[in-house]
Amino acid sequence: MKSVEIKPDIHWIGAIDWAIRDFHGYVTPDGTTYNNYLIMDEQITLVDTVKDDFAWITIDNIKHLTDPSKIANIVINHIEPDHASGLDKVMSLMPDVNIYISEKGKKGLERVFDTSKWKFNVVKTGDILNTGKYNLLFLETPMLHWPDSMMTYVKEAKLLISQDAFGQHLATASRFDDEFMECSSMAKLDDAVVDYYANILMPFGNLIEKKIADVQALGLEIDMIAPDHGVIWRKGAGEILQRYLDLAGGKADLSVSIIYDTMWHSTERMTLPIMEGIKDEGVGCNVIKLRATPMNVAIKEFWKSRGCLIGSPTLNNMLYPSVAEFLYHLRGLRPKNRIAGAFGSYGWGGGAVRAAYEELNKMKLKTYEPGVQVIYKPSKEDELSCYEFGKEFARKVKDYHKNFK
């Protein structure tokens, strides 16, 4: 692997993880990258490190540019292990290096490593490190998405090193957005952006809007955004900022995601007339069976659509386990600006549809109740009820969607 100069004397020196398919529980069919950067200024400065298994790659990349012992500073924007578990291996080559980090980051590292000999410099928003021709401005971004998180803005390069924000889980030979789109597509890149946002940043929409407003208030000129995962936004820095504002502000497709599971195909049979009803109202529809779909993909599809219908059979008077797991996970992500409903089937006592609404109401989502349910297998009359339910839900979705234009 070789480094890539992204701005004059600023080099990407990260690692590509082609093989990872389980990123702390998320399915990552396209792998990921661990990006970090070396600023070859009068004071050579490393920004971020990488996951432990890949430390040898970033060390190798550093050695192609300089003797690691000549590095004066390390900026640590985030201490999650995919970025900081390789830190001690890198640090062993530069024992006198100055570390620039947030207060919470320092405290976190002290729990993980023997830091007794490390030279910490705790920084806050607005602090500047001058490395020679470059000035590095630190921006704390607590809870985006860990308490320690911060970003580093390289003023003279108009470069924002944004840590996890604006990232994507994509292992690719392309280092830049425009390169990626030449050999793939904007749709694939945007899908990766939404997947990342929905699964990691969904709870923090308000914070994202505020932080972007803070950056704009500071008058920072940004013509490149370099996240710590995926491609660097060289052509589309403005567009990805706007995309994040849209995602944080509740922008969604005029569509419904039907997210369901089934035991003996009764709930599954309900999805078809419901989908027909939605479609006949001119609203898009996507149908996702939970046992056939990784959790993070179901979450992404939920987030793309303005409306969501949860389908579940009743098992022991409760939700089917995969549906319960999905709703439990979704509640933790604190979804907003979506309308939801539920449907399902049962054999005798019922309970799943009621339980689904209980979960949706805990999330404080707007709901359309009471949903529709059938006993055993849907009859022709039941199918008509499902169709009408789909149509009525789609009308509610269209009404609600008007609030977001």
For residue 26, what are its two tokens? 């998320």
Residue number with CB closer to ligand FEO (195 or 228): 228
For residue 18, what are its two tokens? 């082609």
> What is the closest distance, in whole angstroms, from the C-beta atom of residue 155 to ligand FEO in the complex?
25
Interaction of residue 195 with ligand FEO, rule CB under 6 A: no
Beta bridge partners of 310: 259, 342
Beta bridge partners of 389: none
> What is the closest distance, in whole angstroms, from the C-beta atom of residue 405 to ligand FEO in the complex?
33
Contact between residue 26 and residue 199 where contact means Cβ atoms under 8 Å apart: yes
Contact between residue 245 and residue 165 where contact means Cβ atoms under 8 Å apart: no
> What is the closest distance, in whole angstroms, from the C-beta atom of residue 78 to ligand FEO in the complex?
6
For residue 161, what are its two tokens? 């090193």
Could you tell me how far CA 25 lies from the centroid of its own chain?
13
Site for ligand FEO in 149-178 (CB under 6 A): 164
Among the residues of 252-366, which ranges form H helices? 266-280, 295-304, 321-332, 352-362
> What is the closest distance, in whole angstroms, from the C-beta atom of residue 228 to ligand FEO in the complex?
6
Interaction of residue 78 with ligand FEO, rule CB under 6 A: yes
Q: 211: helix, coil or strand? A: helix
Enumerate the active-site residues: 24, 78, 80, 82, 145, 164, 196, 229
Residue number with CB closer to ligand FEO (26 or 176): 26
d(CA 405, CA 403): 6
Site for ligand FEO in 227-266 (CB under 6 A): 228-229
Stretch that binds ligand FEO, among 35-43, 75-83, 331-339, 371-379 (CB under 6 A): 75-83
Interaction of residue 80 with ligand FEO, rule CB under 6 A: yes
Residue number with CB closer to ligand FEO (148 or 301): 148
Residue type, 241: L
Stretch that binds ligand FEO, among 80-88, 109-117, 296-304, 374-382 (CB under 6 A): 80-88
> What is the closest distance, in whole angstroms, from the C-beta atom of residue 356 to ligand FEO in the complex?
31
Residue number with CB closer to ligand FEO (83 or 391): 83
Residue number with CB closer to ligand FEO (7 or 145): 145
Residue number with CB closer to ligand FEO (143 or 218): 143
- 79 Rama class: left (phi>0) / alpha (psi -120 to 50) / beta: alpha
Contact between residue 270 and residue 257 where contact means Cβ atoms under 8 Å apart: no
Q: Is the dihedral of CA 363, 368, 373, 379 positive or negative?
A: negative
Number of residues interacting with ligand FEO: please give it, by CB under 6 A. Answer: 9
Residue 111, Cβ density class (10 Å: 0-12 exposed, 13-18 middle, ≥19 buried): exposed
Interface residue with ligand FEO among 7, 11, 83, 338 (CB under 6 A) is 83
Interaction of residue 17 with ligand FEO, rule CB under 6 A: no
> What is the closest distance, in whole angstroms, from the C-beta atom of residue 313 to ligand FEO in the complex?
36
Interaction of residue 104 with ligand FEO, rule CB under 6 A: no
d(CA 147, CA 207): 12
Residue 153, Cβ density class (10 Å: 0-12 exposed, 13-18 middle, ≥19 buried): buried
Stretch that binds ligand FEO, among 78-86, 98-106, 133-141, 260-268 (CB under 6 A): 78-86
> What is the closest distance, in whole angstroms, from the C-beta atom of residue 103 to ligand FEO in the complex?
18
Helix (H) or strand (E) holding 177, with range, is helix 177-183
Q: Regarding beta strands 150-154 and 135-140, do their DSSP bridges make them parallel or antiparallel, or are they unpaired?
A: antiparallel
Residue number with CB closer to ligand FEO (109 or 308): 109
Interface residue with ligand FEO among 82, 148, 281, 359 (CB under 6 A) is 82
Q: Using CB under 6 A as the criterion, which residues of the chain lie in contact with ligand FEO when the complex forms?
A: 78, 80, 82-83, 145-146, 164, 228-229
